[in-house]
Structure 1
Amino acid sequence: MATHVLENPEVLLDEVGEGLRAGQLVPFVGPGISALGAHAVPLSTAALADFFATKTTLPRRAKGNCWAAAQYIESTRFRDTVTAWMKEAFAQGVLPSAFHRWLAGLPLPLVVDAWYAGEMRTALLAAGREDWAEVQGITRAHIGEDRWFRFYTPGGDPAKAQEAEAATTLLYTPHGGIAPDANFLITDADYVEVLTEIDIQTPIPEEVRHRRTGLGFVFLGCRFDDQLLRTYARQIMKRSSARHYAVLDVETLTRNERRFLEEQNISPIAKPLGEALGQLMG
């Protein structure tokens, strides 16, 4: 890890900028980007857990853990309540940041948005592009639901996998999102079902697996301080290139995060996120 930390962040950011413009890097964007501004919606797992705590009294094991909190709510108040409260949490929306808008202007093969607020979808719509499609992770808790994901057109209509194959840019929202249909993977049970098969990649769309081949990933506005987040990132990156990046505050990394970065050959870029994003757009 020490050798990674010592890499020059300016050099690494230059590599990332070149990789994004060339379509050789997949941006994996988390809520930390939008959290640089003031917004009324939860922009971290802890903030989402706190929102749930305003709606009901949570047991100790569920406090501070949005997935356990959602599971408790589903167990005591049924799935419809979980969905309704998630809709409420993200109802006000989040305007895309300048960086989201910048990414939307690039003909990237694949973009991963790892939160529920939908900023990347909104940015692509605002760019006026019609050459993109979205594939979104969905819960299988609904009666009769036997799919792991759904495809959507820019307008939010259901799409077929073949339409996504033809798109210049594929937006992948593995945890679901408020738009277009309020699909949310959020409870422990949702993720247990996914994780039973994620090692064989079944829950990850084939087109995502195809597009990531040979590409690197750059993680922006993300943390890996939870095993579930590390597992998802690891599986989404599988069979991609051997060179990846993450803009992180290296002083606050947990031991598990450091181990994860080492195992996945992710070079940490030790620079404040806002400065790094500005440099990438410059």
Structure 2
Amino acid sequence: MDKIVEKLKSGELIPFLGMGIFEGTIAKDGSSLPYDSDSMILALNNGRAMSQRLMYEYSRAAMSLEQRKGREFIIQMTNHIFSSKEYEIPKTYKWLSEIKPKYIIDTTLDDSLQKIYSDCDHFLILGVSRITADYDRFMIYKYDSSKAEYTRVEKESLSLDLPILFKPMGSTKPEMNFIISDADFVDWLTEAMGGYAIPPVLKEYRKDKEYLFMGVDFARDTFRMVANEITIGLKGGVTLLNKEELTKKEEKFIKTHSLENIKVSIDEFIDSHGK
């Protein structure tokens, strides 16, 4: 796949980010930020491993913690993981900050994406779950760079005139909200399958687009389903999975979605595709 940067700038190729982009990110206090399911579970549970059944996927572990300690605990703990420490934004964001794609999907939970777009007006879409007032599983904000503030807007206000940042699993800012436990994902995915997780403008825009998957773990059932719902209508793209051997589920997802896996690390990929 050639002309990566040009395609990102034109909108032909859409970045899709997963928590793997945080691998190797060290906070100023010396601790590592979660970059996969196992490290996320340890972070949520104060560094302690959980039972093998719960260690399968962090959404399962988060559900167990929520049942024992309450919904507010899991929200506050997730926020603490990403908001209580100072850390340099990962290399992926620095690279994208120079390109400024028109539309970007980011399933991480911190606010690094918002930071790299803070110098320009944009729309931000945050996923929500387990609400009863509406079927839609998203909230839309418009960012005014002159005031450095977000304002909630209705979905009819969303347009392609400004960059669109889509964080389907929520974020620490501008409002602390996360899709993290099994109950969250079940609700979000159920409504996503009904067409309520993505604004109409993006449903039209995403047709026949290619995707660049960076740091997304397709070995995990949940994120394969999330990616599948968000990228309906895609015409292929690229995954970066630097593994000796892919799992059968990864291979099937890649084949089904006409993707090409490039077996290099994210850093190596960025270094070879400078702006």
Which interval holds the TM-score relative to the shorter structure?
Answer: 0.7 to 0.9
Q: Name the count of aligned residue pairs.
A: 265
Render the CA deviation track for 1:139-191: whole Å, top value 9, x for unaligned. 226x7576411111222332222333154210000111111111100111111
Q: Residue 95 and residue 162 in structure 1: after superposition, are their counterparts in 2 closer, same or farther (change >3 A)?
A: farther
Structure with the bigger percentage of helix: 1
Letter in 2 for 1:31: M
Aligned: 1:149 with 2:138: yes
Letter in 1 for 2:138: F
Equivalent residue number for residue 267 of structure 2: 274
Percent sequence identity over aligned pairs: 21
Structure 2 stretches lacking a partner, 5+ long: 144-148
2:55 to 63, 72, 78: 63
1:51 to 43, 50, 72: 43
Q: Residue 247 and residue 15 in structure 1: after superposition, are their counterparts in 2 closer, same or farther (change >3 A)?
A: farther
Instruction: State the distance in 2 between where 1:22 and 1:168 align.
Output: 13
2:11 to 20, 23, 29: 23
1:134 to 124, 134, 156: 124
Letter in 1 for 2:10: A
Q: Residue 250 and residue 61 in structure 1: after superposition, are their counterparts in 2 closer, same or farther (change >3 A)?
A: closer
Equivalent residue number for residue 8 of structure 1: none
- Kindly indicate whether the alpha-carbon contact (under 8 Å) linking 1:108 and 1:168 is maintained by their aligned counterparts in 2: no
Q: Residue 144 and residue 56 in structure 1: after superposition, are their counterparts in 2 closer, same or farther (change >3 A)?
A: farther
Please report the TM-score for the alignment, with normalisation by the length of structure 2.
Answer: 0.87
**After superposition, where does 1:100-139 map in structure 2 within 5 Å?**
100-125=93-118, 128-130=119-121, 132-139=122-129
- Kindly indicate whether the alpha-carbon contact (under 8 Å) linking 1:135 and 1:173 is maintained by their aligned counterparts in 2: yes
Structure 1 stretches lacking a partner, 5+ long: 1-11
Q: Residue 60 and residue 243 in structure 1: after superposition, are their counterparts in 2 closer, same or farther (change >3 A)?
A: closer
Deviation at 1:273, TM superposition (A): 1.8
The DSSP-based 3-state class of the residue aligned with 1:27 is: strand
Q: Residue 228 and residue 111 in structure 1: after superposition, are their counterparts in 2 closer, same or farther (change >3 A)?
A: same
Instruction: State the distance in 2 between where 1:158 and 1:33 align.
Output: 28
Equivalent residue number for residue 72 of structure 2: 80
- Kindly indicate whether the alpha-carbon contact (under 8 Å) linking 1:19 and 1:25 is maintained by their aligned counterparts in 2: yes
Instruction: State the distance in 1 between where 2:100 and 2:267 align.
Output: 23
Aligned: 1:37 with 2:25: yes
Letter in 1 for 2:128: I
Instruction: State the distance in 1 between where 2:214 and 2:12 align.
Output: 16
Please report the TM-score for the alignment, with normalisation by the length of structure 1.
Answer: 0.85
Instruction: State the distance in 2 between where 1:260 and 1:36 align.
Output: 26
Instruction: State the distance in 1 between where 2:100 and 2:109 align.
Output: 23
Equivalent residue number for residue 160 of structure 1: 154
Equivalent residue number for residue 192 of structure 1: 186
Q: Kindly report the root-mean-square deviation, in angstroms, between the aligned alpha carbons of the 2 structures.
A: 2.3
Deviation at 1:55, TM superposition (A): 7.3
The DSSP-based 3-state class of the residue aligned with 1:172 is: strand
Render the CA deviation track for 1:117-147: whole Å, top value 9, x for unaligned. 221111111xx111x1110101226x75764
- Kindly indicate whether the alpha-carbon contact (under 8 Å) linking 1:94 and 1:117 is maintained by their aligned counterparts in 2: no
Letter in 2 for 1:133: F
Instruction: State the distance in 1 between where 2:166 and 2:22 align.
Output: 18
Instruction: State the distance in 1 between where 2:86 and 2:26 align.
Output: 12
